């Protein structure tokens, strides 16, 4: 199988293995003078290159970051659990992560905060094969392919609770990088995922849309899944650089959404040996609508979203020691 969502072929694994911990990709416009730029380490949410990174890849190629005085260094984490470790310990200044990972990190007193959203709603849920539509009650006794990240586990518990079930009522198989092969190989009955990743992959491989059980219809909050985050100590010392980073990112999202073919080509150029062009193209097309408008408010954190998320976590007793919603985000560094 070619690389689809997150699974690399062998040659790609060799190409990116050096990215673990130490080696990363510095993205500069060809004419940029690195000596005049401030290096910004940007840790990602996944241990292999992802189509969600397209805006900062294309934006860097177009010079949007260097125009703001930034040398953007994209770092691939060893595992999904390491993104917040990098950010919290200052090995990265900014991160592409999930809202839930920020909440869990702050419960461990990590100095991290959301500085921008990525998308406007929650498109996570349970996916099953075409024609095998499931209800929440149907999940009892079923085997699910899952990811061992905070967001997956929290929402899965919420969905099950809606039908009076718990994690003890299902069996799980953890995937290191991609749940969809487990489903296509019939090793599990369903998988967790989102419409513009696992959902896109099912369509790309089979030519048919799989069945989707939306989490938001069963107790999960309709809040953005992904977020841009920053180390709070770094923010306090570098407010102008943080603002410059978000200006460039806002511009990059708008440009990538308006020029999808060019956006996919930028990804292809960087990861030519390690991706499926049909999947990446479809994934980006599936992602664009999730931004809503791509103006200066595209990254604006909505206080109601965070309040809804915290309330849901409290209701389902997902996490102890929850903080006020305003402690998890700031809009102080967004473009005016």
CATH code where residue 141 lies: 3.40.190.10
Does the residue 310 lie in any domain?
yes
pLDDT for 256 beyond 90: yes
252 and 107 in one domain?
Answer: yes
The shares of helix, strand and coil residues in the chain, as percent rounded to the nearest 5, are 45, 15, 40
182/101 same-domain check: no
Instruction: In whole angstroms, give the CA distance from residue 310 to residue 27.
Output: 36
pLDDT at 24: 47
Residue 2 lies in a domain: no
pLDDT at 277: 86
**Of 187, 217, 247, which marks where a domain is finished?**
217
Q: Looking at the structure, tell me whether residues 193 and 232 fall in a common domain.
A: no
Is-contact 62 255, C-beta < 8 A? yes
Residue 323 lies inside a defined structural domain of this protein: yes
The answer to whether residues 264 and 134 belong to one domain is no
The pLDDT value recorded for residue 16 is 32
User: Does the residue 43 lie in any domain?
Assistant: yes
Per the listing, tokens 């709070």 go with 232
Reduced to 3 states (helix: H, G, I; strand: E, B; else coil), residue 24 is: coil
38 and 134 share one domain: no
pLDDT tens track for 185-221? 999 999 999 999 999 999 999 999 999 999 999 989 9
Whether residues 16 and 117 fall in one domain: yes
What percent of the chain clears pLDDT 90, i.e. is strictly above it? 75
Does pLDDT of 315 surpass 80? yes
pLDDT band of residue 316 (cuts 50, 70, 90) is confident
Reply yes or no on whether the pLDDT at 230 is more than 80.
Answer: yes
207/80: higher pLDDT: 207
Side-chain-side CA neighbours of residue 30 (13 Å): 0
Residue whose token pair is 């990190």: 105
Question: Per-residue pLDDT tens for 261-304?
Answer: 999 999 999 887 767 888 999 999 999 999 998 999 999 999 99
Q: What is the mean pLDDT of residues 89-106?
A: 95
- What is the reported pTM? 0.85
Name the more confident of 11 and 111.
Answer: 111
| 145 to 82, 148, 203, 250, 320: CA distances (angstroms) | 21, 10, 18, 34, 26
Looking at residue 336, what is its pLDDT? Answer: 82
Residue 5 within any structural domain of the chain = no
pLDDT for 154: 83
Q: Between the CA of residue 184 and those of 9, 44, 57, 61, 307, what are the distances in Å?
A: 18, 27, 31, 36, 37
206 and 303 in a common domain? no
Domain containing residue 113: 10-121+224-327
Number of domains in the chain: 2
| Residue 186 DSSP SS3 | coil
* pLDDT at residue 22 greater than cutoff 90: no
Residue 236 lies in a domain: yes
Report the pLDDT value the prediction gives residue 23, as an integer from 0 to 100.
Answer: 40
In a domain, 335, yes or no: no
- For the chain, give the percent of residues with pLDDT over 70: 89
Among 217, 238, 270, the domain boundary falls at 217
Q: Rounded mean pLDDT of 236-262?
A: 98
The mean pLDDT value of the chain amounts to 89
Q: Is residue 150 part of a domain?
A: yes
Residue at a domain's end among 185, 217, 249:
217
pLDDT band of 21, cuts 50, 70, 90: very low
Whether residue 32 is found in the same domain as residue 173 = no
Mark whether 235 and 88 lie in a shared domain. Answer: yes
289: how many CB neighbours lie within 10 A of its CB?
A: 12
**Shared-domain flag, residues 240 and 308:** yes
Which of the pair, 261 or 147, is modelled with greater confidence? Answer: 261
Strand order, beta sheet including 190-194 = 171-174, 143-146, 190-194, 124-128, 211-214
d(CA 134, CA 115): 37
DSSP 238-280: -HHHHHHHHHHHHHHHHHHHH-HHHHHHHHHHHTTTS--HHHH
Question: 129 and 200: one domain?
Answer: yes
Residue in the block written with tokens 């103006």: 295
Which residues contact residue 152 at a Cβ distance below 8 angstroms, ignoring those fewer than 6 apart? 146, 192
Q: Is the pLDDT of residue 48 over 90?
A: no
Question: In terms of domains, do 209 and 253 share one?
Answer: no
- Cα–Cα distance, 219 to 212 (Å, whole number): 15
Distances (CA, A) of 65 to 91, 132, 335: 20, 46, 14
């Amino acid at each position: 199988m070619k690389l689809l969502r997150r699974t690399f072929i062998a040659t790609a694994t060799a190409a990116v293995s050096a990215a673990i911990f130490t080696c990363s990709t510095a993205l500069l416009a060809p004419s940029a003078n690195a000596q005049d730029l401030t290096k910004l380490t940007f840790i990602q949410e996944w241990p292999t290159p992802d189509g969600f990174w397209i805006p900062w890849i294309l934006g860097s190629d177009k010079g949007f970051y260097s125009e703001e005085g930034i040398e953007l260094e994209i770092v691939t984490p060893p595992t999904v659990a390491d993104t917040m470790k990098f950010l919290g310990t200052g090995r990265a200044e900014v991160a592409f992560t999930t809202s839930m990972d920020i909440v869990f990190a702050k419960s461990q007193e990590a100095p991290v905060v959301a500085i921008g959203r990525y998308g406007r709603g929650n498109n996570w849920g349970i996916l099953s094969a075409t024609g095998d539509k499931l209800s929440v009650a149907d999940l009892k006794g079923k085997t699910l392919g899952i990811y061992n990240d905070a967001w997956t586990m929290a929402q899965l518990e919420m969905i099950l609770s809606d039908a009076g079930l718990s994690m003890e009522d299902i069996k799980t198989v953890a995937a290191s990088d991609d749940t969809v092969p487990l489903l296509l190989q019939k090793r599990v009955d369903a998988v967790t995922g989102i419409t513009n990743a696992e959902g896109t992959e099912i369509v790309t491989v089979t030519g048919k849309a799989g069945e989707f059980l939306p989490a938001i219809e069963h107790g999960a909050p309709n809040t953005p899944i992904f977020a841009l985050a920053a180390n709070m100590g770094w923010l306090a010392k570098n407010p102008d650089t943080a603002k410059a980073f978000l200006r460039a990112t806002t511009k990059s999202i708008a440009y990538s959404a308006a020029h999808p073919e060019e956006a996919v080509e930028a990804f292809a150029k960087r990861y030519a040996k390690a991706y499926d062009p049909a999947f990446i193209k479809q994934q980006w097309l599936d992602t664009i609508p999730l931004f809503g408008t791509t103006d200066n408010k595209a990254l604006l954190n909505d206080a109601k979203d965070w309040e809804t998320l915290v309330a849901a976590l409290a209701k389902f007793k997902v996490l102890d020691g929850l903080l006020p919603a305003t402690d998890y985000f700031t809009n102080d560094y967004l473009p005016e």
